[in-house]
Amino acid sequence: MSRFKVLASAYACNPSGALCLHPGEDLTGWRLVGQLARFHDVWVITHQYNGTGIAEALAGEPLPNVCFHFVELPRTLKWLYRIEFGQRIYYYLWQIKAWRMARKLHREVHFDVAHHLTFGNDWIPSFIGAFLPIPFIWGPVGGGQKTPKPLLKEYSLYGRFAEFARNCAQGVGRRMLVRKRCLKKARAVLVCNRETQARMPLKYQDKILYFPVNGIVAEDIKDGLPEPRRNGQRFKVITAGRLHRLKGFSLAVRAFRAFSEKHPASEMKIIGSGPEEESLRRLISDLGLEDKVRILPWLPRHEVLANMRSSDVFLFPSFRDGGGAVVVEAMGSGIPVVVLDSGGPGAHVSEAWGIKMAPASRESVVREMTAALETLYSDRALGQRLGAAGRKRALEFYAWDRLGDRMRDIYENAVSRKGLLDLVIKDR
């Protein structure tokens, strides 16, 4: 196996996600860097906000094959982070500065390959990948998923405008010369959902491989399967994530209400924080569910997983999640998952370990989620089978060491120009 000198662009790369800017991408970037370091020497260009979290992690567990370089924009531009779409503008500007550092490092190190890890977005391309004169791997990336039209009604006027602005920006981004150059130069493009693959030009489809943006550490799910629910025990529904409009938590609450009217000995936990928390609490109050539905602030990872293991079902009707890390964590925790067949969650889940529903109207989604809860309530054996199968899938496919082994194979085939045919066949 070849050992390469790798330059990794990872704007988000933080084991703690302490600033709560984008904790999911932070942890993904950190895990991917750790996996690359198992087989290669890695130089990472990342944002300065990750510095404290990285230093603390390295003090406890050094990464001897990794060297971090931090890039920060002037403080006068930090106001962009107070605007939802401004964060993308800030990131775009950051990439230009990161590219300057990459050129300097390449003159000193002479890298074998550049790899753009985070942000994983197909319509905001990588300057390092486009212009550094070495082999390039892009991804895993998402971004192709959109909020299904019937569900746009669930957003406020501002939310609908934000989705429209995002769609316009995607159209512009996918026509940019930098993106076209990224696709042309890339030896492999890793995508995390089918919607993003569909956004790639046909002539580049032979470069595309499925690679999830989410994984799980085997130690996190070492405690085994949850105890089966016994007669008389409350039926426990759980969901988790950033309380954002695209997550569909309001539909989960409405489905739980319909279910709990028939089964009053049931409860629901929502773990997370975010801009939709106030409106979600109002909905819970309006539906008279204060004694059955609790919103808990975001908890340490081990506590989230413990809450999953003590629940009967994980409900996650996200409209356009590119990844959906909590779905993989729920699978690893051994409980059945109920998701929309959209984006990352739709890619993670099959009928062997969960229940998927079409992202149609509010009424349709609520009705099908309610039916899924009813099925899992009345058929305990089914819930146990789905939970066991989901845990097996998480261990066999989503464990980070397994994903690292797959990345090793991608490097060996793509960078050494052996071709991706065998890997593409395995994907299918």
Tell me how far apart the alpha carbons of residues 52 and 54 are, in angstroms, rounded to a whole number: 5
Model confidence pLDDT, tens digit, residues 7-21: 999 999 988 754 455
Give the 3-state secondary structure of residue 67: strand
Residue 102 has pLDDT above 80, yes or no: yes
Which pTM value belongs to this model? Answer: 0.88
133 & 250 share domain: no
Residue type, 395: L
Strands 293-296 and 354-357: what pairing?
Answer: unpaired
User: What are the phi and psi torsion angles at 345 (to 5°)?
Assistant: -55, -40
209 & 224 share domain: no
Q: Give the CATH number of the domain where residue 118 resides.
A: 3.40.50.2000
* Total Cβ atoms within 10 A of residue 298: 18
Confidence of residue 418 (pLDDT cuts 50, 70, 90): low
pLDDT score, position 190:
95
113 & 103 share domain: yes
204 & 313 share domain: no
Tell me how far apart the alpha carbons of residues 346 and 357 are, in angstroms, rounded to a whole number: 9
140 & 35 share domain: yes
123 & 224 share domain: no
266 & 361 share domain: yes
Residue 33 has pLDDT above 70, yes or no: yes
Instruction: Look up the domain containing 306 and give its range.
Output: 218-397
Retrieve residue 285's tokens: 């109050």
Model confidence pLDDT, tens digit, residues 338-347: 999 988 888 8
DSSP 317-352: --SS-S--HHHHHHHHTT--EEEESSHHHHHH--TT
Q: Which H helix or E strand runs over 208?
A: strand 208-210
pLDDT score, position 41:
96
CA 41 to chain centre: 26
183 & 260 share domain: no
Confidence of residue 224 (pLDDT cuts 50, 70, 90): low
Residue type, 284: I
* Mean pLDDT along residues 140-154: 89
156 & 228 share domain: no
342 & 366 share domain: yes
Retrieve residue 2's tokens: 């070849």
pLDDT score, position 145:
87
- Sorted by sequence, the CB contacts under 8 Å of residue 98 that are 6+ apart come out as 9, 11, 45, 71, 127, 128
Model confidence pLDDT, tens digit, residues 318-377: 998 888 889 999 999 999 999 999 888 888 898 999 999 998 888 999 999 999 999 999
193 & 89 share domain: yes
Model confidence pLDDT, tens digit, residues 372-403: 999 999 999 999 999 999 999 999 999 999 99
Domain count, the chain: 2
Residue 417 has pLDDT above 80, yes or no: no
Retrieve residue 29's tokens: 């970037």
* Mean pLDDT along residues 46-53: 92
393 & 403 share domain: no
Retrieve residue 299's tokens: 């908890």
pLDDT score, position 83:
79
Residue 410 has pLDDT above 50, yes or no: yes
pLDDT score, position 296:
93
